[in-house]
Structure 1
Amino acid sequence: MEVFSPDGTRIAYEQRGSGPPLVLVDAAGHFRANSPLDELAGLLAGDFTVVRYDRRGRGDSTDTAPYTPDRGVGDLAALIGAVGGPAALYGYSSGCLVALHAAAAGLPVRRLALLEPPIDTTRDDPGQREFTARLRALTGADAVEFFMAGIGVPEEMITAMRDTPYWSAVVSVAPTLAYDSMLSESVDEDLLRRVPVPTLVLHSAASTTDLTRMAELAAGRIPHAVLRGLPGAWHSVPASVLATALTDFLR
């Protein structure tokens, strides 16, 4: 299935199940063919019409330069319109930032759930801008290595990922990693305070302190947010655990 964003970009998506619409927004480097969200979607499909899509420039979706966070919002607006919103949104990692922009922009979003949003509300952070610029200058595996190290992925995890199908898939969409860095630049306290809907902010009990603190920051700034820790691994929570938490909150 496909829908067209306001700028003409084709956004490929799929849906399963029945019930209120729930759109899953993937993390950096992920798309439908390379994502942990497929298992989660299957577990949620008994209660929701679950929509998964390829963010622009990934998988079967096209791209239109230049990238801006507003274009990601347009993609979600087109998807929500296609499935007959209002919709709930679940964002994972940098996917949270797309979801936050969409809610703050006034899209028909009824609830948000966010797993470890990578948020630093420092305005005009030169370090983040420099990171984005360096990332845009790199290609392929070099960009992936730089991005993963820069966001704090443990070295042993990066080593384990090399020479795997997952790694090759992320390399195939390496240019879009700069989009996620630009999203990080675009989130500030003003945007968080403009999110009008009930929001569940989640973190894994096994994540590092930096990720936990960012989740706490988001929950503290979003007006109608609650914070919840779940058992899991670094920057991830098992699909079965997530499905229960999401169903309880979104239903």
Structure 2
Amino acid sequence: MPHVHSADGTSIGYDRLSDEGPALVLVGGGLDDSSENQPLGEHLADSFAVVNYRRRGRGDSDDRRPYALEREIDDLAAVIDATGERAHLFGASSGGALALEAAAAGLPVERIAVHDVPYQVDEAMVSAWQAYRLDLDAALEAGDLDQALRLFMRLAGSSEQDIAGAQSAPVWAALRALAPTLRHDAACLGDGRLPAKRLALVRQPVLLTTGVTVDPQMAGLPVDFFGAAADAAAGALPDARRLTLPVEGHVADPGVLGPVLRTFFTN
């Protein structure tokens, strides 16, 4: 698998799914080692030169401390540079927040599409987010990866039954390996509130998508949590398009999302 080196020397792994067409870089979200975006990338590989990379600390990508959001933006800059041109971006969940922060920082980006970015738009959720960040830091400093995962799942609206089921499932070991990167995702979202001033710096066209229903394992979130966040972000961005997709769950069906992205990126 190819790698690039970020400004601080961190080695970042990526997969180049195709070579023909405009460059499109996929940015993964929380507890994702790039595998969640892989089916979408394969769906779009006939139209774009798709690069699916693993954010620092995930899979074969290294990590260096202290972590800073600016270093993740540097990582994405190195991946875009490896494409040899300006790139479109697609970001899922907190990866969407990272994509927007990168555009606001001036990276050579064309169009940007984001799905289910979890900005907090009411004070109760802002308070819950800020408490989560403190508790997450404490759990990770203590090396308690299981607690870090439980905290994240509770914040994301999972029931205690869902959490217990996940903890007893084979996938839990893989999630534990990714748990330290929850701090990275938290940094991408800052204090949780919509970063309206930074979004106002994004001059590229942005498509914000959400699903028509929430993931069943996120049933504890406020009604239309992602939709309200996308609506607020669209109001802060200079050139935004907003679309609700006929899909269920937090990871959108490539067969539904793919054609929408193909149209958006090629128009």
TM-score, normalising length: structure 1: 0.92
Please state whether the residue corresponding to 1:14 is helix, strand or coil.
strand
Partner of 1:24: 26
Shift of 1:179: 1.4
The question of whether the paired residues in 2 share the 8 Å contact of 1:132 and 1:182 is answered with no
The amino acid of 1:80's aligned partner reads I
1:10 aligns with 2:17: no
1:82-107: CA deviation from partner (whole Å, max 9, x where unpaired) = 11120000000000111011100111
Partner of 1:190: 197
Please state whether the residue corresponding to 1:232 is helix, strand or coil.
strand
Partner of 2:186: 181
Partner of 2:65: 65
Please state whether the residue corresponding to 1:6 is helix, strand or coil.
coil
1:95-244 maps to which residues of 2 (within 5 A)? Answer: 95-120=95-120, 128-138=129-139, 139-153=144-158, 157-185=162-190, 188-207=195-214, 208-244=223-259
State which drifts further: 35-44 or 89-98: 35-44
Distance 2:175 2:59 in 1: 10
State which drifts further: 111-120 or 229-238: 229-238
The question of whether the paired residues in 2 share the 8 Å contact of 1:122 and 1:188 is answered with no
Shift of 1:20: 0.7
Shift of 1:213: 0.4
Shift of 1:188: 1.2
Distance 1:19 1:136 in 2: 42
The amino acid of 1:233's aligned partner reads E
Task: Tell me the percent identity.
Answer: 37
Shift of 1:24: 0.5
Shift of 1:150: 1.0
Q: For structure 2, which runs of at least 5 residues remain unmatched after alignment?
A: 215-222
Q: 1:134 to 1:198 in 2, by over 3 A?
A: same
Shift of 1:145: 1.1
**Which runs of 4 or more aligned residues in structure 1 lie more than 4 Å from their structure 2 counterparts after TM superposition?**
154-157
- Number of residue-to-residue matches in the alignment: 248
Please state whether the residue corresponding to 1:42 is helix, strand or coil.
helix
Q: 1:174 to 1:230 in 2, by over 3 A?
A: same
Q: 1:116 to 1:198 in 2, by over 3 A?
A: same
Shift of 1:122: 8.4
Please state whether the residue corresponding to 2:171 is helix, strand or coil.
helix
State which drifts further: 177-186 or 221-230: 177-186
The question of whether the paired residues in 1 share the 8 Å contact of 2:14 and 2:52 is answered with yes
Shift of 1:158: 3.7
Shift of 1:38: 1.2
Distance 2:131 2:179 in 1: 17
Q: For structure 1, which runs of at least 5 residues remain unmatched after alignment?
A: none
The amino acid of 2:109's aligned partner reads V
The amino acid of 2:91's aligned partner reads G
The amino acid of 1:228's aligned partner reads L
